[in-house]
Structure formats: structure tokens, C-alpha cells
């Protein structure tokens, strides 16, 4: 966490709806707060509602209407300020914001993962234009929204704050003004690289907060983590609680969140038949709220239903419905549930557990055991970390896995050691095709684009080792496909040099790297032969480095030179025809050095 620098900070405020903007004669509904001017209301509000003018607007495609950039306090004065107001806590620093309004506006009770994914994608689109983001959201599902966004915004290095109000901002006595002003000031003046929730002068970690009151202004609390910041006459930041940013990886928003997840609250006497119906496909995961420290009925028929669902691959996360405390194995009733295949949710809120379950189930390329282990780990500060010996037991099966497990167990004081070791371990895991270890390092906060001592990234190592699954994962995380190591070699060249006879990964990996933008150096052409099984545009089945050859069986092989992607990369193929002995290698262009050709 750091104090924001610079004379001016620019924020994007995303207005989704909620009580803060409501005004109605017949039942509150969210109303547009944008107008053509500060004096003229926007035409056509919903029936029975009045729009309260706040800031001018202009049309913009995308999420909704975007208001022009305004000074920090104009939203409260409804007038055009002649100057730029300075922030009270830093007189020389000015906070400017732009309002982006959802169309239509939502009552938060109608919000779903789909809308929260759209908010995350909006932040991703505008990430480079603003220093921070404020999401104005209804309070009923704000904790769910904050939890979902915390998992969706990977490699977040800027402040994202959700806020709203218990009373509409137009009312004489309301909490909307202080909440919005506080969120804007904190997002503008401090770099807190987390998804947070600001309410009643307290800044909570978003995935630790839950709504506890429908009427009081102090509507939210964080049962297991103190506030990250408190606003009063002074702003007090609990710096030791703010998560550190590791590396400089770009913001990543996962392409999918699993929608088929549910929440089941146990109650005394709940019938096994009801549980059986609830756990049926297409449900893929469920958060089960239990009694006390994770206890539930021990009736054999109910435990059998849970066991049968777990054996089908359904993931069941056990969370206590108590406001404070964690799931433990102190009682036989809790041990019985664990024996039926449930996973401990530790001290996560139900909102955080449901969001985490949706996120983990949406991750590609993980085994069922890998997903379970990921759910048991602290990913975004949503739970108190378990003991070191409980972290990812599947990593103990190899020397590399044990090294990653030990890295995970380092204390916060050993962050520098962790950061120094992570790049080498990531490259080793990529070369070995160990997705579990790579995912563990990524969730630890390691930047997978960092180079090891040889100047290679994990993408270099995966390409050289022919690990198609790892290449896919790293490309999805945005690694540079044209990065050069200290010898000037790219992942594409290492893939060719590391290939072997009969290797099938090249067909897939070559196209992946090419589609991701990998290019060939002007001084090099590639001579290649194709298996021909995919037709005229078939990629090469086997490439060899200079001086090696491939003995064929006399089959005809077609040439892939018609493929536009290959032509763009200046590749050329051996002529089509029967080839008893096919030599495939790097052919230097005229005037280039044969020893240092680059792809």
C-alpha cells in the first residue's frame, strides 16, 4: 500500500443503481442520476420516479452513459464549480472522476454473476485510463459483488471500492454523501490494490464483508478481519493488513465464471430427500451453511446423499452460518461431514465462499483434486490461511512440488526471498508441465512473466518442453509471446529446437503462439515438412534443428505454405511429394548469420 502521488488523480465511478440514487412516490426504484445539465433532469425516468440531477452526461457505447469528467464534490452541489477543488487530506492533489452509468440501472436484488462479470470487464477496458475505480452498488448484494470482483480481477494493482447507501442521497438525512465522498477520496489518494467495500467511514476488504443491518448506517461488518482503513478527522490505514502487489503482470479477467453453483443452509430436521433434489445436476458446486463450527445432522441417509454427490464430482464447501468463528473438526458431527466429502470453508463468509467456488470451477485445466486444494487455500485474503502442512498436499509428490510448497509456507517477512525464488520455480514447473505448481505460484501473487537467471520466462520453458497445457495457460495470462531470453531466443524458436520425432504438441502450440502474435525474424526462414493429415493448411508434425533429419515412411506430405499464418511468419516448406528422407531445419536468409538466427 502506498500514498498516491501526482497533482491529479483520475477515477472512474461505475453507477449500477441501488438505494443511493432512488426517488419514488410509489416504491423505491433506482433512477438515473444523469442529466443534460446540472439543472435539467434526464427525460424519461421509470414511471412513478423522479430523476434527481447530479452530473451532466454524454452518450457513449458500452456499459451505459458516461458523464463528463467532473470535480470531486460537484455531485453533491449540483452546480458547476469554477475551479478544481483540492482534496482535504492533500491540498496539492486534485481528484477528478468520470461517471459511467449502467443502462438499465439495477436493483441490487436483480444482480447476478453476469452483471458482475460485465463490471469486471468494464474495469479491464478502462484500466489504463484511470488511477482507481469506484463501483456504486445496492447494499443488498454488495458483499456478493465485492467477493466476485475480488476473484475476477487477477493481478489487480489499483484501488477498487464498492459503496452505496441505506438512504437515498437526495434525502435531507442520508449516508450516501459520506459514503461516496469517502470512497472517492480513498480511491484517489491511496493505492490499495484490492477490491474493497466502504461504508460508514470504514474500508473493508470486499471478500471479508457481509451485510448485518437493514436500517442502521453501519450496515456492514467484517467478522474476521479489522477494517483496512478508518476515516475520521484523520485517515488511518492498517498497512499491515493491505495485501502486497507482487510483480507487474497485467490485469487479467477470467473469461468464465461457473454459474451452476448454489447455497444450501442446513436446518434441524432437514430431510435427505430435499438435499438429494438440491444436489442434482447441473449443479457443480455448493456452499453448505452448517451449525456452529461446521457441524450438521449425522443421519446416515443425509450423509449418504452428500457422499454420493461428492463421488459424482460435486464440490461441497462447508461454511458456518455463525457470524464469527471458523469450521473445525472439534466435534464428531463436523468430522462426519468431512468424511462425506465436504471441504472446510474455514472462516470465509458465505458470500466469499460462493464467489470463490464460482471462480475456481471456472478455471481451465485443473483436476478435481486441484480445484479442492485451491478452495482450501487463501487466494485473495478471503480466509485465514491454514497451517503450512495443510497447503496443497498433492505438491508433496515431487522435488519441485515440495519446493513450491515450502515457498508457499514462507512467512510474510520472507517476501523478498519468495520473490527471488519464484521465477526459477515457475520456469521449472512450466518445463515439467506442472500446472498445479504454476497455479499455486500465480495465486501466491508471483508474476509469471518475470525472467529467471537465464532471462527466460515460463513461456520459454513450456515451449521448449512441449507442454501444450502450460502454453495455453500462460497465453491466457497475457505473457509476451515475442519475449527474448539472454541468447535472443523466442518461445517459438525454443519450441522448434526442443521438438522430437512424433511430437504432437507442435501442431497445437505452433498455432497458439502464432495466433497470439509470435513472429519470425526477417533473417530466418523455416524449412518444414507436414504430416498432411489436416489438409493443405496442416501445421508441421515434427521440426528438427540444424543438422538433424526425419526419416519418413514414403508417404506423401502436403505443403503448408498456403497457410496465411505461416506465410506471415516467412516460413517455407519442402516441396510436396514422396520424401524418403526429409531434412527439416532453420535456413538462414541471404546475408544473415547462420549462427544467430532468431524466430
- Residue 310 CA to residue 323 CA, distance in Å, equals 27
Q: How far apart are CA 211 and CA 345, in angstroms?
A: 19
Cell numbers describing residue 164: 452505496
| 242 closest CA partner among 277, 279, 295, 204 | 204
Helix (H/G/I), strand (E/B), else coil: 265: strand
CA distance 24 to 46: 9
d(CA 73, CA 78): 9
Catalytic residues: 19
Give the contacts of 67 (CB within 8 A, at least 6 positions apart).
34, 55, 56, 57, 58, 98, 99, 100, 101
Q: How many angstroms from the chain centroid is the CA of residue 558? A: 43
- From CA 131, how far away is CA 189, in angstroms rounded? 9
C-alpha cell at 564: 496465411
- Residue of 155, 149, 147 whose CA lies nearest to 444: 155
Of 89, 99, 109, 107, nearest to 63 (Cα)? 99
Dihedral sign (CA 403, 406, 407, 408): positive
Buried/exposed 468-499: b ≥16 CB within 10 Å, e otherwise: bbbbbbbbebbbbbebbbeeebbbbbbbbbbb
Partners of 70 in the β-ladder: 97
Report the DSSP beta bridge partners of residue 58.
66
The conformation of residue 387, written as its DSSP 8-state character, comes to P
Amino acid at each position: 500500500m502506498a500514498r498516491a502521488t501526482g497533482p491529479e488523480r483520475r477515477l472512474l465511478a461505475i453507477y449500477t443503481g441501488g438505494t443511493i440514487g432512488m426517488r419514488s412516490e410509489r416504491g423505491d426504484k433506482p433512477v438515473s442520476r444523469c442529466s443534460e445539465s446540472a439543472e435539467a433532469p434526464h427525460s424519461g425516468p421509470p414511471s412513478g420516479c423522479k430523476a434527481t440531477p447530479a452530473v451532466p452526461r454524454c452518450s457513449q457505447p458500452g456499459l451505459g452513459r458516461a458523464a463528463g469528467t467532473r470535480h470531486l464534490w460537484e455531485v453533491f452541489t449540483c452546480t458547476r464549480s469554477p475551479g478544481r477543488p483540492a482534496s482535504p487530506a492533500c491540498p496539492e492533489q486534485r481528484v477528478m472522476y468520470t461517471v459511467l452509468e449502467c443502462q438499465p440501472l439495477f436493483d441490487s436484488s436483480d444482480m447476478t454473476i453476469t452483471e458482475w462479470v460485465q463490471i469486471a470487464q468494464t474495469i479491464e477496458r478502462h484500466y489504463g485510463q484511470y488511477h482507481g475505480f469506484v463501483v456504486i452498488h445496492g447494499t443488498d448484494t454488495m458483499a456478493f459483488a465485492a467477493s466476485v470482483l475480488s476473484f475476477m480481477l487477477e493481478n489487480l494493482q489499483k484501488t477498487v471500492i464498492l459503496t452505496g447507501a441505506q438512504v437515498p442521497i437526495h434525502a435531507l438525512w442520508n449516508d450516501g454523501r459520506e459514503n461516496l465522498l469517502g470512497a472517492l477520496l480513498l480511491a484517489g489518494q491511496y493505492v490499495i490494490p484490492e477490491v474493497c467495500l466502504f461504508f460508514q467511514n470504514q474500508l473493508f476488504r470486499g471478500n471479508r464483508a457481509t451485510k448485518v443491518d437493514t436500517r442502521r448506517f453501519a450496515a456492514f461488518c467484517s467478522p474476521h478481519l479489522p477494517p483496512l482503513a478508518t476515516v475520521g478527522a484523520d485517515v488511518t490505514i492498517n498497512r499491515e493488513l493491505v495485501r502486497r502487489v507482487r510483480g507487474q503482470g497485467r490485469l487479467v479477467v477470467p473469461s468464465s465464471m461457473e454459474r451452476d453453483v448454489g447455497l444450501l443452509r442446513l436446518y434441524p430436521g432437514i430431510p435427505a430427500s430435499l438435499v438429494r433434489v438440491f444436489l442434482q445436476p447441473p449443479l457443480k458446486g455448493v456452499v453448505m451453511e452448517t451449525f456452529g463450527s461446521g457441524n450438521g445432522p449425522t443421519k446416515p441417509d443425509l450423509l449418504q446423499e452428500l457422499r454420493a454427490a461428492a463421488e459424482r464430482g460435486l464440490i461441497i464447501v462447508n461454511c458456518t452460518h455463525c457470524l464469527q468463528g471458523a469450521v473445525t473438526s472439534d466435534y464428531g458431527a463436523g468430522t462426519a461431514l468431512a468424511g462425506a466429502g465436504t471441504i472446510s470453508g474455514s472462516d470465509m463468509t458465505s458470500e466469499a465462499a460462493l464467489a470463490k467456488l464460482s471462480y475456481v470451477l471456472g478455471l481451465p485445466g485443473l483436476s478435481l483434486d486441484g480445484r479442492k486444494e485451491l478452495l482450501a487455500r487463501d487466494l485473495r485474503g478471503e480466509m485465514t490461511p491454514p497451517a503450512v502442512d495443510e497447503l496443497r498436499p498433492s505438491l508433496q509428490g515431487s522435488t519441485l512440488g515440495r519446493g513450491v510448497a515450502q515457498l508457499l509456507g514462507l512467512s510474510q517477512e520472507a517476501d523478498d526471498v519468495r520473490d527471488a525464488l519464484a521465477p526459477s520455480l515457475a520456469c521449472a514447473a512450466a518445463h515439467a508441465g506442472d500446472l498445479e505448481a504454476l497455479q499455486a505460484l500465480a495465486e501466491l501473487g508471483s508474476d509469471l512473466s518475470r525472467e529467471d537467471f537465464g532471462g527466460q520466462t515460463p513461456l520459454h520453458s513450456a515451449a521448449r518442453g512441449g507442454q501444450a497445457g502450460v502454453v495455453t495457460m500462460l497465453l491466457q495470462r497475457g505473457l509476451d509471446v515475442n519475449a527474448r531470453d539472454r541468447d535472443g531466443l523466442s518461445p517459438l524458436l525454443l519450441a522448434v529446437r526442443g521438438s522430437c520425432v512424433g511430437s504432437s504438441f507442435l501442431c497445437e502450440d505452433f498455432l497458439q503462439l502464432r495466433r497470439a502474435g509470435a513472429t519470425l525474424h526477417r533473417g530466418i526462414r523455416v524449412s518444414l515438412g507436414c504430416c498432411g493429415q489436416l489438409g493443405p493448411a496442416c501445421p508441421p508434425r515434427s521440426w528438427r534443428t540444424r543438422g538433424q533429419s526425419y526419416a519418413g515412411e514414403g508417404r506423401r506430405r502436403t505443403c503448408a505454405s498456403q497457410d496465411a499464418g505461416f506465410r506471415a511468419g516467412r516460413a517455407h516448406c519442402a516441396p510436396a511429394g514422396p520424401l524418403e528422407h526429409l531434412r527439416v531445419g532453420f535456413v538462414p536468409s541471404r546475408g544473415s548469420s547462420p549462427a544467430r538466427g532468431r524466430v
